[in-house]
Amino acid sequence: MLKSGATKTTSIDYINRNNQKVLGTNGREGTDHNQLSYKLKCLNVSCGYVYGANGSDLFQRKCPRCQGGRPSIEF
């Protein structure tokens, strides 16, 4: 079961400025220092890609598939 983080930008249903929606974390370690991995979904109509990102990146994250963002990490 996925859960929200402790901040606004790591909360389930948060949508960042690039139309990426936070789906939550299962507590897996991310790839940045002291970060958890979060599951995101691209809300762009022609995409819908689901991928993983560090909690520290969520506010500015771009989709790896349709926006040229960094590759997904395990979530």
Compute the average pLDDT of residues 18-36.
98
pLDDT band, very low/low/confident/very high, at 67 (cuts 50, 70, 90): very high
Gyration radius (Cα) of the chain, Å? 11
Compute the average pLDDT of residues 26-53.
97
Domain that holds residue 13: 1-75
Instruction: Please tell me the predicted confidence (pLDDT) of residue 31.
Output: 97
What is the domain count for the chain? Answer: 1
The position carrying tokens 């139309």 is: 19
